[in-house]
Amino acid sequence: MNAKIYEGIHRQEQGGMTPTANIIRDAWVFGIIPEDETCEGWTVQGIESLYDKVSDAWMPYGHLASNLPPELRERHARIYAEAVERARMAGWDPELDEND
């Protein structure tokens, strides 16, 4: 049985604008993993474990970026702005849905 292996946030479809990539970006925001960790080669179980840690980190803030303290809010804004720019350069169009 082959384990599914994650391709890495910068190699992911849609320019990395996916739920899995959001987990990774949020892990960067909270310092759970370093910002240069792309999770390339991680198993599904590793990503699920990261999701649990990210979810726990969000809890005190009600899962809202607007509730983050200034340092985390600024890091969140920077990381997500860079992600949107990278995704657009890769051809991602936020106006299209999965059926377009």
Convert the pLDDT of each residue in 28-77 to its tens digit.
Answer: 999 999 999 999 999 999 999 999 999 999 999 999 999 999 999 999 99
Task: Enumerate residues 6+ apart whose C-beta is below 8 A from 67.
Answer: 61
Q: How confident is the model at residue 99 (pLDDT cuts 50, 70, 90)?
A: low
**DSSP assignments along 19-70, one per residue:** HHHHHHHHHHHTTSS-TT---TT-BHHHHHHHHHHHHHHHGGGTT-GGGS-H
Is residue 60 within 8 Å of residue 72, measured between CB atoms?
no
Alpha carbons 54 and 94: distance in angstroms, whole number: 24
Q: Which two tokens stand for residue 22?
A: 């959001």
Q: Per the structure block, which two tokens stand in for 65?
A: 């970026």
Residue 82, pLDDT score: 96
Decide if pLDDT at 4 tops 60.
yes
Asked whether 68 and 61 are in contact (CB, 8 A), the reply is: yes
Q: Is 77 helix (H, G, I), strand (E, B) or coil?
A: helix
